[in-house]
Amino acid sequence: MTLRVTDHPILGKLEKKKAVTFTFNDKQYTGYEDESLAAALLANEIRTLRHHEESGSSRGIYCNIGHCFECRVSINGKQGVRACLTPLKGNMIVESHGKLPTPVRDWRSSDE
């Protein structure tokens, strides 16, 4: 939990919360219960939450208020769940979406 801010100048000390473990892409991580999944992953220095379906470029937290869907991951098998809005629960299984096999846009050059 190296990146976690434990003593915020304004918000003060981080009050003690229950630590829970969860897996992200088959690796074990720990975070505090009911904190946002995106924050828990960030505290574990994971910024790339998924890869773009078309270009494979790595994507992560952008708006962090559930507006832009950049942080969508699949949680316990359910796809397209926004990590920044989901409270962390014990042994959650989180997987990131990756690049899709067939591109959508390859028709453009011939079509234009």
Partner 1 sequence: MRESEMIICRCEEVTYQELLDTAITYSCSARELKLRTRAGMGYCGGRTCRSIVDQVAKQVGSEQSKKNISLKYQAPIRPVNFVDLGGEGK
Name the minimum Å distance from CB 59 to partner 1. Answer: 8
- Residue closer to partner 1 by CB (options 27, 67) is 67
Smallest distance from partner 1 to CB 63, Å: 8
In three state form, how does the secondary structure of 22-47 look?
EEECCEEEEEECCCEHHHHHHHCCCC
Minimum distance from residue 64 beta carbon to partner 1 (Å): 14
* Minimum distance, C-beta of residue 52 to partner 1, in the bound complex (Å): 7
Nearer to partner 1, 55 or 102 (CB): 55
Q: Given the DSSP bridges, would you call strands 19-24 and 93-95 parallel, antiparallel or unpaired?
A: parallel
Give whichever of 10 and 65 is closer to partner 1, judged by the CB atom: 65
Which of 1-10's residues contact partners 24+ apart within 8 Å by CB, and which partners? 1/30, 1/43, 1/44, 2/43, 2/45, 3/42, 3/43, 3/44, 3/45, 4/43
Interface residues with partner 1 (CB under 8 A) are: 52, 54-55, 57, 59, 62, 67-70, 72, 78-80, 105
